Amino acid sequence: MLDDMLDYIEHIRSRPVWQPIPDDIRARFFGAVPRSPAPLAAVHDEFMQFVLPFAIGNAHPGFMGWVQGGGTPVGMLAEMLAAGLNANCGGRDHIPIEVERQIVRWMRNLFGFPETASGLFLTGTSLANYLAVLIARDAVLGFDVRRKGVPASKSSFTAYSSSDAHSCIAQAMDLSGLGSDALRLIPVDDHHRINLDALQRAIASDRQAGFTPFFIAGTAGTVNTGAIDNLSGLATIAHRERLWFHIDGAFGALAIMAPDLAPRLTGIERANSLAFDFHKLGQVPYDAGFLLVRDGALHRQAFSSSASYLMREDRGMAGGSPWPCDFGPDLSRAFRALKTWFTFKVFGTEALGAAISSNCALARYLEARVRDNPELQLLAPVELHIVCFRYRAKDIDEQELDRVNSEIVIRLQESGVVAPSSTLLKGRVTIRAAITNHRTTRAEIDALIDSTVRAGRLIECRQPATQETV
Ligand SMILES: *Cc1c(COP(=O)(O)O)cnc(C)c1O
């Protein structure tokens, strides 16, 4: 198994990024629950034939869709060790928890947070953003809200993010009982950064209308274009207005490890809470999200509870309080810290930062190639590792162009050579390449340009896709 996975990664360039799943292969997964045993080797064989070849392909250097990290063999091996130990990192006194605490200290240090800051591994930034809204909600409404629920009082609590913020912020408002309508989506500027004047006006007019503003979510690396909000500006407004300042730094925050990118994150050290993922540009295998909270006491107050079967002691296995389960809703928790710890120790922040710089340099190379090509059009400024562009053809209207570009993305994905995804910018379909994999090189960028143009021309002439032409 180990050999197979090391081979998979070593020879990944000779595989398609992704391939459509034949019906007969999908049908294999509709069988009943096994009642009798099968040899391990037979099940492994099934994995090799029917699971591995039909993965989404984010370990492949040609994968550029959404924002998905490529992982490393180091992370893979550490994950095996974690599974072997089968540690439950909800609590109790054992070194796996100490490994997680060490990462909390490393992250405090990396982001300039105080000694009193707390941190917690979670599945991803969606959950980390949700926890941040809950902590801020409890801090402003009072911790009674944990017992009494959100009161249906007249003055409602309002939160603010840019219109380009990830949809999980609105979902966090929904799940917290405050309602997604209470999230004000503030317009962005030409660089897709939150418009600070519009934000101030929205806060003022909400106050005037009797609302209680409590939360600002800035984004360090928006999901559509990679834009970084003016974090210092947001921190100043949040401080003046006495609002909780949260940052969604899902992929952008770890750019702090790259000396050429770190200055753009100025202000991140002033956040009340910061959510980010190790599994995106950090290259740790899925899943490894993280939440850092400036005031660890508030964080703990939002989640701690007392149950007799989770009683703490000064000695014995029940020592070492507080436990991770005091800082979030998970009780049984995987040892996500180990693959992250291995990744930081084996590579170090310099190499991890250099990999992020290199992904961003490839994005600038792609940007230059798009600008040089009259058949292509850049649709957003390139801030980090994301490039939004489209194929353009003469004499066709915007709706037809949308259809052509959607079809290009599907054909590229089906070709297995390069796989961007699509999104909408100002309502128009955009080809979106997020260079999140440390294995990606200029060769894949060149292939993306060439196959986009070739597919675009074919679609314009209404020719179907064939293996040779795309
Ligand atoms: C990926 C992403 C999220 C969601 O993170 P998950 O780890 O997928 O839960 C939130 N915000 C931004 C900006 C993202 O890129």
> What confidence tier does 465 reach under pLDDT thresholds 50, 70, 90?
confident
> What confidence tier does 295 reach under pLDDT thresholds 50, 70, 90?
very high
Residue 458 has pLDDT above 90, yes or no: yes
- Best substitution site from 68, 167, 168, 384 to test ligand 1's pocket, by max atoms within 8 Å of Cβ? 168
Beta-bridged to residue 218, according to DSSP, are: 247
Judge contact between 380 and 388, C-beta under 8 A.
yes
User: Could you give the residue ranges of the DSSP H alpha helices within 177-222?
Assistant: 196-208
Average pLDDT, the chain: 96
pLDDT given for residue 225 in this prediction: 97
Distance of CA 251 from the midpoint of ligand 1 (Å): 7
Helix axes 398-415, 442-460, angle to 10 degrees: 130
65-79, 147-161, 173-187, 286-300: lowest mean pLDDT where?
Answer: 147-161
Q: Tell me how far apart the alpha carbons of residues 372 and 317 are, in angstroms, rounded to a whole number.
A: 64
DSSP code at position 387: E
Residue nearest to atom 1 of ligand 1 (CA): 250
Residue nearest to atom 12 of ligand 1 (CA): 250
Distance of CA 136 from the midpoint of ligand 1 (Å): 19
What token pair was written down for 280? 């995106």
Atom number of ligand 1 nearest to Cα 249: 13
pLDDT given for residue 261 in this prediction: 98
Residue 339 backbone dihedrals phi, psi, to 5 degrees: -65, -30
Give yes or no for a cis peptide into 287 (omega within 30° of 0). Answer: yes
pLDDT given for residue 326 in this prediction: 97
Distance of CA 385 from the midpoint of ligand 1 (Å): 15
Distance of CA 63 from the midpoint of ligand 1 (Å): 17
Q: Which residues contact 136 (CB under 8 A, 6 or more apart)?
A: 214, 215, 244, 246, 272, 273
Angle, CA 286 vertex, CA 223 and CA 95 arms, to 5°: 125
Distance of CA 242 from the midpoint of ligand 1 (Å): 26
pLDDT tens, position by position, 45-59: 999 999 999 999 999
User: Could you give the residue ranges of the DSSP H alpha helices within 308-389?
Assistant: 336-372
pLDDT given for residue 362 in this prediction: 98
Atom number of ligand 1 nearest to Cα 165: 13
Q: What average pLDDT does the segment 418-427 reach?
A: 97
Tell me which long-range contacts 236-241 makes (C-beta under 8 A, separation of at least 24). Answer: 237/196, 237/199, 237/200, 237/203, 238/272, 239/270, 241/203, 241/213
Distance of CA 127 from the midpoint of ligand 1 (Å): 9
SS (H, E, C) 249-292: CCCCHHHHHCCCCHHHHCCHHHCCEEEEECCCCCCCCCCCEEEE
Distance of CA 68 from the midpoint of ligand 1 (Å): 10
Distance of CA 217 from the midpoint of ligand 1 (Å): 13
Look-up: residue for tokens 């040899």? Answer: 39
Residue 155 has pLDDT above 90, yes or no: no
pTM of the model: 0.96
- Best substitution site from 277, 284, 385 to test ligand 1's pocket, by max atoms within 8 Å of Cβ? 277
pLDDT tens, position by position, 446-456: 999 999 999 99
34-48, 275-289, 383-397: lowest mean pLDDT where?
Answer: 383-397
Q: Tell me how far apart the alpha carbons of residues 423 and 421 are, in angstroms, rounded to a whole number.
A: 7
Angle, CA 209 vertex, CA 205 and CA 214 arms, to 5°: 70
> What confidence tier does 111 reach under pLDDT thresholds 50, 70, 90?
very high
pLDDT given for residue 468 in this prediction: 52
How many C-beta neighbours within 10 Å does residue 135 have? 28
Residue 42 has pLDDT above 70, yes or no: yes
Q: Classify strands 157-162 and 183-186 as parallel, antiparallel or unpaired.
A: parallel
- Best substitution site from 120, 126, 276, 280 to test ligand 1's pocket, by max atoms within 8 Å of Cβ? 126
User: Is 126 near ligand 1, meaning CB less than 6 Å away?
Assistant: yes
User: Is 251 near ligand 1, meaning CB less than 6 Å away?
Assistant: yes
- Best substitution site from 66, 120, 131, 166 to test ligand 1's pocket, by max atoms within 8 Å of Cβ? 166
Residue nearest to atom 15 of ligand 1 (CA): 223
Q: What average pLDDT does the segment 210-217 reach?
A: 96
User: Is 383 near ligand 1, meaning CB less than 6 Å away?
Assistant: no
pLDDT tens, position by position, 222-259: 999 999 999 999 999 999 999 999 999 999 999 999 99
pLDDT given for residue 440 in this prediction: 98
Residue 307 has pLDDT above 90, yes or no: no
Q: Tell me how far apart the alpha carbons of residues 301 and 118 are, in angstroms, rounded to a whole number.
A: 12
> What confidence tier does 467 reach under pLDDT thresholds 50, 70, 90?
low
Q: Tell me how far apart the alpha carbons of residues 340 and 279 are, in angstroms, rounded to a whole number.
A: 9
- Best substitution site from 223, 265, 274, 291 to test ligand 1's pocket, by max atoms within 8 Å of Cβ? 223
Judge contact between 186 and 163, C-beta under 8 A.
yes
Distance of CA 248 from the midpoint of ligand 1 (Å): 8
Please give the distance of CA 98 from its chain centroid, rounded to a whole number.
25
Distance of CA 384 from the midpoint of ligand 1 (Å): 15
**pLDDT cut 70: percent of the chain above it:** 98
Q: Tell me how far apart the alpha carbons of residues 270 and 284 are, in angstroms, rounded to a whole number.
A: 26
Distance of CA 130 from the midpoint of ligand 1 (Å): 11
Q: What average pLDDT does the segment 138-165 reach?
A: 89
CA dihedral 217, 219, 220, 226 (to 10 degrees): 180
Residue 94 has pLDDT above 70, yes or no: yes
